């Protein structure tokens, strides 16, 4: 299967700081990437859809000014959590849809964010 990586795998930051999470498709070009958030013992919640070269589309209730998404190339999307607060502590997961195989999404390993 296709490989998607995320960096960092874990991050701890102080309240009020910004954190950037990278999502890379390693062996394919991803025209579309997706960002999810998962709180403990809950399911994945879609946050936004990221299209290469255009603005991200956010799900209802997700603050676009707080969760900045940049999809500058066909292999890289970044999620920046701005002015993070303890309630932003969560497991952030990205996925990528391969252009040649648009029916399947491949997920990254996730990034654990802890805001103190």
Partner 1 sequence: DAKTTQPPSMDCAEGRAANLPCNHSTISGNEYVYWYRQIHSQGPQYIIHGLKNNETNEMASLIITEDRKSSTLILPHATLRDTAVYYCIVRARGGNQFYFGTGTSLTVIP
Residues that bind partner 1 (CB under 8 A): 1, 4, 6, 32, 34, 36, 43-46, 49, 91, 93, 95, 97, 102-110, 112
Q: Which CB, 1 or 86, lies closer to partner 1?
A: 1
- Residue 93 CB, shortest distance to partner 1, in Å, is 5
- Residue 45 CB, shortest distance to partner 1, in Å, is 8
**Token pair of 99, please?**
């252009």
CA distance 20 to 13: 11
Q: Which CB, 62 or 82, lies closer to partner 1?
A: 62
CA distance 89 to 13: 10
- Residue 112 CB, shortest distance to partner 1, in Å, is 7
Which is it for strands 76-81 and 90-98: parallel, antiparallel or unpaired?
A: unpaired
Q: Which CB, 71 or 108, lies closer to partner 1?
A: 108
Cα-to-chain-centroid distance, residue 65: 15
What is the DSSP secondary structure assignment for residue 87, as one 8-state letter?
Answer: G
As beta bridge partners, residue 95 has 34, 107
Q: Which CB, 14 or 43, lies closer to partner 1?
A: 43
């Amino acid at each position: 299967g296709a490989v998607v990586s995320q960096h960092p795998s874990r991050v701890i930051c102080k309240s009020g700081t910004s954190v950037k999470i990278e999502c890379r498709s390693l062996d394919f070009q991803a025209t579309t990437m997706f960002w999810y958030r998962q709180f403990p013992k809950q399911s994945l919640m879609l946050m936004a859809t990221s299209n290469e070269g255009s603005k991200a589309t956010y799900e209802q209730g997700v603050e676009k000014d707080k969760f900045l998404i940049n999809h500058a190339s066909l292999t890289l999307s970044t999620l920046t959590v701005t002015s993070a607060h303890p309630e932003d502590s969560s497991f952030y997961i990205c996925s990528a849809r391969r252009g040649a195989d648009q029916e399947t999404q491949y997920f990254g390993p996730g990034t654990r964010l802890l805001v103190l």
